[in-house]
Structure 1
Amino acid sequence: MANQKITLKKKELVAKDTMAFHWEMPDGFDFKAGQLTHIKLINPSKTDEEGNKRALSLVYAPSENELVTATRIRDSAFKQELKDLPEGSEVEFDGASGSFTLHKTESTPAVFIIGGIGITPVRSMIAEATNQETDHEITLLYSNKTPEDAPFLSDLEEMAERNPDFQFVPVMTRSSADEWGGERGHIGAKLLKRYVSDIHKPIYYLSGPGGMVEAMQDMLIEAGVNEDNIRSKEFAGY
């Protein structure tokens, strides 16, 4: 798809320092759950050496019929300009691309080990599997500092209620037992095996900050998971 303009319909805070942007859906726009797009600001008031264009995951599933991106708000010129973009403004985008998508074989389980904003493509995949009522057995281990830092936490809780094949395990690294009654601490092999009975069977999807993705890949390999069954996507802090 050639570059075209889309209009910002709505923006909202979805977690601490994290915003979702709802865009006008172009006619005939098709994408797969888990894919991304490139958003380019038009004549921003400030820019930096990284330029006016960034890759952003499509957060909603095709079956939800909404074009939504989300990002942590940092100090970069792009993030600040995007945060302050008035509703009704236009940006350029170039359609959908990327292969970080859910495998087709429904008899093979999927295990997502995700940190923070890395949830954006995963929310799309799990929503699509839930809405289409596929037979994928899905487990999501979702790490954040606190519930306030976790984008789309309530969406995922609602999907887990609707989808009997989806096991949702939010994990908080900086919440006390009084603040959070669920899993706490860092994700490791012990936690994984508590929720995944046969760790050799699933396809694993890792998404989040680069350091976490590397650590989780090392953990899986050390636990005996076949490296060919691990797919990863790193989110830079731009």
Structure 2
Amino acid sequence: MSAHRSALLRKETVAEGTLALHLRKPVGFAFKPGQAIDLVLGAPELAEASRRHAFSIVSAPHESHVTIATRMRDSAFKRALAALAPGDALDMDGPFGSLTLHNNVARPACLIAGGIGITPFMSMLRHATAEKSAHRLLLIYSNRRPEDAAFLAELEDLTRRNDRFRLVATMTGMDTSKQPWSGETRRIDAPFIAGVLAEMPESIFYVVGPPAMVASVLSALEAAGVDGDYVRSEEFPGY
């Protein structure tokens, strides 16, 4: 990995309890959609080992800045992150990671995100749309409530701009929501996956989210008969 000096440009709330940070893009910084960076804060109040945290890159390679997004928890790192002001310096190590979209456009991609697991897929989808990729893309995006669904409005806009992309958002905890929702409310189980396979056979599956969600979806994929060679996953613990 390579260290790059950067700075905060601005912060943005993208869902209830979820913050996006737009960072200055260092000269020469290049990455593939789906990769990540380590963000290193110069926060003297934190122990050195606590100043570093890995984040998937939300922005696409063609964008002029680097964006990350995170759920805001009550941890020392997240408090220091929330306290950053525009212009504050920080370091980025990376990029790293191999959760990138396959090259064979003849095989569809089914992206399955739970909560903040949407972040690497945002980079993929923005890039595919900008490049007019021939990949056929389906995103299954699971949250408890619409209030929790980061980038939902942008994803809906991407479906209008990219006729190779379809979004299925599902909200599994609508009893706690204050917003209306007329879409899916099912959990991602084997019958759900079977419907995907009927629509998009030969799909390669990508699963990102909290550990329990990833484990549940991987079990559903196995029960639906998906060959493990065509499944790629990444867990986001501690979010």
TM-score bin, normalised by smaller chain:
over 0.9
Shift of 1:196: 4.0
Q: Tell me the alpha carbon deviations over residues 59-99 of structure 1, each in whole angstroms, 9 at most, x when there is no partner.
A: 01112332001111111100111011111101111131110
Aligned to 1:63: 62
Aligned to 1:104: 103
Q: What is the distance in 2 between the residues matched to 1:61 and 1:227?
A: 28
Shift of 1:200: 4.9
Does the alignment pair 1:19 with 2:19? yes
Unaligned runs of 5+ in 2: none
Shift of 1:121: 0.3
Shift of 1:9: 0.4
Does the alignment pair 1:3 with 2:3? yes
> Structure 1 stretch 197-206 or stretch 81-90: which is displaced more?
197-206
Aligned to 1:220: 221
Shift of 1:126: 1.1
| Residue identity matched to 2:236 | F
Aligned to 1:40: 40
Output the TM-score relative to the length of structure 2. 0.94
Q: Say if 1:47 and 1:78, in contact at 8 Å, map to a contact too.
A: no
Shift of 1:195: 4.1
Shift of 1:199: 5.9
Q: Say if 2:35 and 2:56, in contact at 8 Å, map to a contact too.
A: yes
SS in 1 for 2:127: helix
Q: Say if 1:25 and 1:67, in contact at 8 Å, map to a contact too.
A: yes
Q: Which structure 2 residues correspond to residues 81-230 of structure 1 after superposition, within 5 A?
A: 81-175=80-174, 179-197=180-198, 200-230=201-231
Q: Tell me the alpha carbon deviations over residues 169-228 of structure 1, each in whole angstroms, 9 at most, x when there is no partner.
A: 000011159821000031112223334425651110000000110110111011100001
Output the TM-score relative to the length of structure 1. 0.94
Q: What is the distance in 2 between the residues matched to 1:199 and 1:230?
A: 14
- How many aligned residue pairs are there? 237
| Residue identity matched to 2:145 | T
> Structure 1 stretch 50-59 or stretch 197-206: which is displaced more?
197-206
Q: What is the distance in 2 between the residues matched to 1:144 and 1:16?
A: 12
| Residue identity matched to 2:43 | N
Q: What is the distance in 1 between the residues matched to 2:44 and 2:71?
A: 19
Q: What is the distance in 2 between the residues matched to 1:199 and 1:211?
A: 26
Shift of 1:28: 1.2
SS in 2 for 1:197: helix
Shift of 1:2: 3.2
RMSD across aligned C-alpha pairs, in angstroms?
A: 1.8
Q: What is the distance in 2 between the residues matched to 1:72 and 1:43?
A: 19
Shift of 1:130: 1.1
Q: Say if 1:8 and 1:21, in contact at 8 Å, map to a contact too.
A: yes
SS in 1 for 2:95: coil
SS in 2 for 1:86: coil
| Residue identity matched to 1:8 | L
